[in-house]
Each structure stands twice: as structure tokens, then as C-alpha cells.
Amino acid sequence: MCHVLIIEDEPLIATYLQTLLEDEGATSFDFASSEEEAVAAARAHSPAVITSDVMLTQGTGPHAVSRILEELGEIGVIFVTGTPDQCEPCAPPGIVLSKPVQPADLAQAFHSFTAT
């Protein structure tokens, strides 16, 4: 079972990411559109992988991810953003993909964290 937290403030993009990741084997999802929602969702159900936009309705994806990683430890992170130059801090373990995301790139990034 692979649970994914999708941090994205555009519902259509979040649904698109969910569809692509379901095709790659993800089995459950939580969604958040703000930094606080993301942290709360991760606390409630620890994800195996996180996808995150950079700019959110409130706060930023990188700050949400940093807070989550501080609390929960190492989790695979894929930043999917239209503003990769504003991805701070997006240092490893994060992978940064630009929007519009290519399905093959997302699949490769996802499997880099889920391969056993």
C-alpha cells in the first residue's frame, strides 16, 4: 500500500496527479491546498510519498514539506511546480518537476521512492 499526500491548490491539477499516481500503484491519497492543511494531513496519515506545489493558497509547499519531514522523518518528495526557481528549500530528498508535468517524469520520480 502506498499512501500519497498531494499538496496542490488547483483541484484539477490535484486530480490529474492522483490519476497518474494511481496508474503507477499509489493506493490512497490525502489532499491539501495550504501549508497548515498539509501538515495536519501528514500527521493524521503519514504518507509514503508527497507531491507538492510551491505556491499555495496559504504558505508554501516547501515550508509544509520541511515541517512534515522534521516531524515524521524521511519521506520521498516530488515538487510539481510552475515556479521551480522559487522552490526554497527544495534540496534533496526532493525532486523538482516543472508544470506541465510529463506523466513519464512523474512516474519515474514516484518509482524512485517506491522501488523495493
What average pLDDT does range 50-69 have in this prediction? 95
Predicted pLDDT at 116: 57
Predicted pLDDT at 32: 98
List the chain domain ranges. Answer: 3-114
The C-alpha cell that represents 2 in the structure block: 502506498
91 pLDDT higher than 70: no
Predicted pLDDT at 79: 96
User: What does pTM read for this prediction?
Assistant: 0.95
Q: How confident is the model at residue 86 (pLDDT cuts 50, 70, 90)?
A: confident
CB–CB of 32/78 below 8 Å? Answer: no
What average pLDDT does range 6-13 have in this prediction? 97
The C-alpha cell that represents 25 in the structure block: 500503484
The amino acid sitting at 43 is: R
3-114, which class in CATH?
alpha beta
Question: What percent of the chain is modeled with pLDDT above 90?
Answer: 86
93 pLDDT higher than 70: no
Contacts 24+ apart (CB under 8 A), 106-109: 106/17, 106/20, 106/21, 106/24, 106/51, 106/78, 106/80, 107/20, 107/23, 107/24, 109/78
Predicted pLDDT at 2: 94
| Alpha-carbon torsion, ordered 42, 46, 50, 55, to 10 deg | 0
